[in-house]
Structure 1
Amino acid sequence: MQLSNEEEDYNLSLSKFESMLKTNKVLFFDSEEFEEIILHYLDMGKASLAKKALKLALEQHPKSTGLKLVQVEMLVYDDKLDQAEKLLNELYAIEPTNEEIYIQKASIYSKRDNHEKAVELLNTALKYTDDYADVYNLIGMEYLFMDNLELAKENFIKCLEEDTEDQAALYNVVYCFEFLDQNEEAIKFLEDYIDKNPYSEIAWHQCGRLNYGLKKYEEALRAFDYATLIDDEFMGAFMEKAKSLERLKRYEDAIESYNRTIELDDPTSYALLRIGKCYEKLGNKVMALKFFNKTVHEDPLLDKGWIAITDFYFRMKNYQKALFYVNKALHIDNQNRMYWKRYATINKEMNFFEEAEFGYRKAVEFGDSELDTWLFWVDILQFLGEFDTAVQTLLQSSEYFPEAYEVEYRLAGLYYITGEIEKGKFHLSNALRLSFNNVNILEELFPIVYEIKSVQSMITKYRRKQ
């Protein structure tokens, strides 16, 4: 690709400056060359080189407003706000209509968290600037800092009206719409934008993403298709396209799209996992397992990969293999509640009840807040004859699930079994009140208690009220 004259001049200036530093010969640059060199080093994060260039620049051009404004920018970058403000005031006395002075002053006020004043100064800059897009973008950012998303959105839209190719502004507009929960409006805005800019892959991608969030998978797929046609290396669009195809149960097409992401970049554990899931949906167990194994090889810390393999074998009733893989997962992360719950469930299926009880206990200990985990745990404790521990566990669970009839029926049964009849009656009354239709829980788990005359009497009394 041939460089433009401007690019060639720019590269020559950089080469010439770096050569000067190596040889210690002082060469002359015009002030604009110096500005470009300094800003280049700032953009590259090479602050020390930028400062060297600025020092030399001011020695050669001590009265250059442009260079002094770059100096202000560097002072702001170093948080030397008072010095920057003093220099800006001096420049304002010389050039009161220079928009950059107002922009830099706004930057200082923004750093001091006075965003209202920053907006005021930026609005003044609009009177003198030719680059309206940049100023509107800066105003939008200030409103973002103030959490005024409506006005931020309004200014980012103005920025796009001035510069339709400003991708950062486009992203910011969509962000504002989403934050304001205006997803339908965002889609309408993007559709209007696409009408004027049909080859904007970013707009198509964002449109697809919003439709996907609204579960409009056909519309999402159409948008991602356009994004990938415009840019056939747009990995994010291929990934989202694959997800949409999965939702539409087009698993073979989804696999193709996920594979495209792997061609474009190193394979991600997410893509490998989803390919495995697609193969599983297609009934191709060999390929599913192959990709699940690739997933955990690519990222051994990804819990979803280990869970996919464990659940795969569990569904096949190959409990030994399922246990083998969940144990491997626990060896990597023994504080993962999802691993412990599966460890417990597999052991329960294999009639290893003590191991199952331990697994459910660990799952709860590491933050499992699902009611069914507590209930499985308690039912195993009851099966093992550990009635007191079961009661204490249920009382603990009732703090999290105060209106759970499943807990109340179990407490009632256990209290009757342990001879605490009054407590049993109390919890049975609660259970019947919460859900009389589920009285069969008592009958199934505690058949002896269910047959007690006083218990039958309470049940009959509640039945008449129904």
Structure 2
Amino acid sequence: MQLSEEEEDYNLSLSKFESMLKTNKVLFFDSEEFEEIILHYLDMGKTALAKKALKLALDQHPKSTGLKLVQVEMLIFEEKLEIAEKLLNELYAIEPNNEEIYIQKANICSKRDQHEKAVEYLNLALEFTEDYADVYNLMGMEYLFMDNLEKAKDSFIKCLEEDIEDQSALYNVVYCFEFLDQNLAAITYLAEYIEKNPYSEIAWHQKGRLHYGLKDYQEAINAFEYATLIDDEFLGAHMEKAKAYERLRKYEEAIESYNRTIELDDATSYALLRIGKCNERLGNTALALQFYNQTVHEDPLLDKGWIAITDFYVRQNNFQKALFFVNKALAIDNQNKQYWKRFATINKQMNLFEEAEFGYRKAVEFGDTELDTWLFWVDLLLFLGEFDGAILTLLQATEFYPESNEIEYRLAGLYFMTQDTTKAKFHLSNALRLNFENYILLEDTFPVVWAKKSVRNYVEKHKKQ
């Protein structure tokens, strides 16, 4: 690719400067050349070289405002705000109409969390600048710091009106719309933006994302299609398109898009997992299993991969294999509540009740507070005859589900079983109040209790109230 004359001059200046450093010969550069060299090294993170270039630059051009402003920028970067501020005040006395002075003053205020003051300086900069886009962009960022999303949005929109190609401003506009829960307005804005800039793959991609969020999957696919037509290597758009196809149950199209992401980059565990899921839904079980295995091989720490392969074997009623894989997962992460719940469920299916009880206990220990987990665990404790443990577990569960009739019926039955009639009646009253029709739970779970005439009479009496 042929370089422009400007790019050639720029590269020549850099080569000339680096040659000078190697030979220790002092060569002359004009002040603008020095500015470009210094900013190049700053962008590359080569601060030491930037400082060396700045020193040589100021030696050759001690009165250059541009170089002194670069010096201010470096001082701000190094958090030397007071020195930077002093130098800016000196420059202001010489060039009060230089917009860069106001921009750097705003930068110092921003560093000090004085964001309103920063906006004031940026408004002053607008009076003198020719680069309105840059100032509006900076203003938008200050409003973001102040959590004023409406004004931030307006600033980024003004930035795009000045420079329609500013991608960071475009992302920020969409972010503001989304944060303000104005997704439909965002779609309208992007449609207007696309009319002016139809080949912006970023705009099409963002439009697709917004449609996806609104569950308008076909419109999302249409937008992602445009994004990938403009840039066939737009990985994110191919991935989002695949997800939208999956939502529409167009699994073959989804697989095609996921495969495209793998062609563009190394296979990700997420893409492999989704291809596996799509194949399973198409009935291609052998292929699905192949991709699940690839997923856990690619990323052994991805819990969704282990869960997918475990659940696959559960659906096949191959509990031995399912247990094998969930144990492999637990060997990698033995504090994962989802692994422990599956460990419990599989052991329960295999009639290994003590192991199942242990699994539910560990699931709760590591943060599983789902109601069904508590109930499965308690029912196993009941089966194992551990009534006191079951009562303690249910009382713990009431902290999360104080209005659960299923917990109350079980507590009532357990207290009847342990001869604590007062507590039994208290919990039975609660259960009947919460859901009278579910008294069948007491009858099914505690037939010995239900056999007592006094219990049936208590339920019947409650019905008449």
Task: State if a TM-score over 0.5 links the two structures.
Answer: yes
> Which segment is superposed worse, 433-442 or 54-63?
433-442
Distance (Å, rounded) in 1 between the aligned partners of 2:207 and 2:463: 55
Per-residue deviation, residues 257-280 of structure 1 (Å, max 9, x unmatched): 000000000111000000000000
Give yes or no for the alignment of 1:18 onto 2:18.
yes
Distance (Å, rounded) in 1 between the aligned partners of 2:265 and 2:87: 48
Residue identity in the other structure for 1:86: K
Offset of residue 327 of structure 1:
0.1
Residue in 2 that maps onto 1:188: 188
Counterpart of 1:335 in 2: which secondary structure? coil
Distance (Å, rounded) in 1 between the aligned partners of 2:438 and 2:134: 65
- When normalised by structure 2's length, the TM-score is 0.99
Residue identity in the other structure for 2:23: T
Per-residue deviation, residues 134-155 of structure 1 (Å, max 9, x unmatched): 0000000000000000000000
Residue in 2 that maps onto 1:155: 155
- When normalised by structure 1's length, the TM-score is 0.99
Offset of residue 411 of structure 1:
0.3
Distance (Å, rounded) in 2 between the aligned partners of 1:9 and 1:452: 99
Distance (Å, rounded) in 2 between the aligned partners of 1:190 and 1:433: 54
Residue in 1 that maps onto 2:458: 458
The within-5 A match list for 1:15-414 is 15-414=15-414
Distance (Å, rounded) in 2 between the aligned partners of 1:305 and 1:160: 42
Offset of residue 440 of structure 1:
1.3
Distance (Å, rounded) in 1 between the aligned partners of 2:45 and 2:220: 39
Q: Identity of counterpart residues, as a percentage?
A: 77
Residue identity in the other structure for 1:234: F
Distance (Å, rounded) in 2 between the aligned partners of 1:446 and 1:424: 13
Residue identity in the other structure for 1:261: T
Residue in 2 that maps onto 1:425: 425
Distance (Å, rounded) in 1 between the aligned partners of 2:278 and 2:53: 57
Offset of residue 420 of structure 1:
0.8
Distance (Å, rounded) in 1 between the aligned partners of 2:83 and 2:155: 30
Residue identity in the other structure for 2:255: I
Distance (Å, rounded) in 1 between the aligned partners of 2:187 and 2:283: 36
Distance (Å, rounded) in 1 between the aligned partners of 2:336 and 2:106: 48
Residue identity in the other structure for 2:425: K
Offset of residue 245 of structure 1:
0.2
Counterpart of 1:270 in 2: which secondary structure? helix
Offset of residue 462 of structure 1:
2.8
Per-residue deviation, residues 92-139 of structure 1 (Å, max 9, x unmatched): 111000000000011001111111111000000000000000000000
Offset of residue 463 of structure 1:
2.7
Distance (Å, rounded) in 2 between the aligned partners of 1:462 and 1:289: 54
RMSD: 0.6
Matched length: 465
Offset of residue 421 of structure 1:
1.1
Offset of residue 69 of structure 1:
0.4
Distance (Å, rounded) in 1 between the aligned partners of 2:413 and 2:423: 10
Offset of residue 460 of structure 1:
1.3
Structure 2: gaps spanning 5 or more residues: none
Distance (Å, rounded) in 2 between the aligned partners of 1:38 and 1:93: 25
Residue identity in the other structure for 2:85: E
Structure 1: gaps spanning 5 or more residues: none
Distance (Å, rounded) in 1 between the aligned partners of 2:434 and 2:278: 42
Distance (Å, rounded) in 1 between the aligned partners of 2:192 and 2:437: 55
Counterpart of 1:312 in 2: which secondary structure? helix
Distance (Å, rounded) in 2 between the aligned partners of 1:450 and 1:191: 66
